[in-house]
């Protein structure tokens, strides 16, 4: 049986890296992109291959739609297919709404929302042809509530947009055997936030502890599997009760 192929954006570190390693253990080939973390990318590629998968690390700025399209075509040229697309990249910055710059505002949409549209459209033709595909995006645990977020406003709006894109793509791709789902993490010890900040937030988490990368990986791997074939348009809260 031909190996399945995953493309994971932001796959050199954190949750994206964890998903790539888990898929490698299931004998998937894993391509991932990164922007600047060359050393992390090399280490992740080696770890994927140690776990039984083939690895392809590509430096790419997915905020550029032309580069995003080229990334998809490179993976398809290498392995002939993309069976799963994981939108793992999602940087953010904290800045007061009245101090946000035009450049900072645009960056949050260019890195969190627009690539979900561009990359998904690029992988869809092959998935439709094979009548099998898995697309997974990441939002945030309280994005579906539409609450005020004066310190991360653009990022928050972009993550709300991700949920709308997920549901919209899910509806139009369901007849073709392609599922599209979202995971909405709360506070996860993935390396993207300082440990002191996570420790301070524990008191706000009903389960009483910060999640691990493995918590996100477990949900992601299931959503990418054959077992989740009838799940599409879902938004899985992964927050220990925070944000609901």
pLDDT tens digits, one per residue of 153-186:
999 999 999 999 999 999 999 999 999 999 999 9
243, part of any domain: no
73, part of any domain: yes
HEC string for 134-152: EEEEECCCCHHHCCCCCCC
Query: Cβ distance 57 to 46 under 8 Å?
Result: no
166, part of any domain: yes
Count of domains for the chain: 1
- pLDDT over 80 (residue 125): yes
140, part of any domain: yes
Q: For residue 78, what are the CA distances in angstroms to 44, 58, 67, 118?
A: 18, 12, 16, 20
What integer pLDDT is reported at residue 1 of this predicted model? 61
pTM (2 decimals)? Answer: 0.96
Catalytic residue list: 156
244, part of any domain: no
Give residue 26's domain range.
5-238
| Mean pLDDT confidence for 69-94 | 96
CATH code where residue 59 lies: 3.40.50.720
Report percent pLDDT > 90 for the chain. Answer: 93
pLDDT tens digits, one per residue of 181-212:
999 999 999 988 888 889 999 999 999 999 99
157, part of any domain: yes
- pLDDT over 90 (residue 2): no
d(CA 121, CA 123): 6
What integer pLDDT is reported at residue 196 of this predicted model? 87
């Amino acid at each position: 049986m031909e190996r399945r192929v995953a493309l994971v954006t932001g796959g050199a570190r954190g949750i994206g890296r964890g998903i790539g390693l888990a898929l490698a253990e299931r004998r998937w080939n894993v391509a991932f992109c990164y922007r600047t973390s060359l050393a992390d990318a090399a280490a992740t590629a080696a770890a994927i291959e140690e776990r039984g998968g083939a690895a392809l690390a590509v430096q790419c700025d997915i905020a550029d739609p032309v580069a995003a399209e080229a990334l998809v075509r490179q993976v398809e040229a290498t392995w002939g297919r993309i069976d799963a697309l994981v939108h793992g990249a999602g940087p953010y910055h904290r800045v007061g709404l009245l101090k946000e710059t035009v450049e900072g505002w645009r960056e949050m949409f260019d890195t969190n929302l627009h690539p979900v549209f561009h990359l998904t459209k690029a992988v869809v033709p092959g998935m439709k042809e094979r009548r099998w595909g898995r697309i997974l995006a990441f939002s945030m645990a309280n994005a579906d509530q539409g609450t005020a977020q004066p310190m991360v406003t653009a990022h928050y709006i972009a993550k709300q947009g991700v949920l709308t894109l997920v549901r919209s793509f899910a509806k139009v791709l369901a007849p073709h055997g392609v599922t599209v789902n979202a995971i909405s993490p709360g506070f996860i010890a993935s390396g993207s936030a300082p440990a002191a900040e996570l420790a301070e937030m524990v008191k706000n988490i009903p389960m009483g502890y910060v999640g691990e990368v493995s918590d996100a990986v477990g949900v992601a791997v299931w959503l990418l599997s054959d077992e989740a074939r009838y799940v599409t348009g879902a938004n899985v809260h992964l927050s220990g009760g925070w944000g609901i």
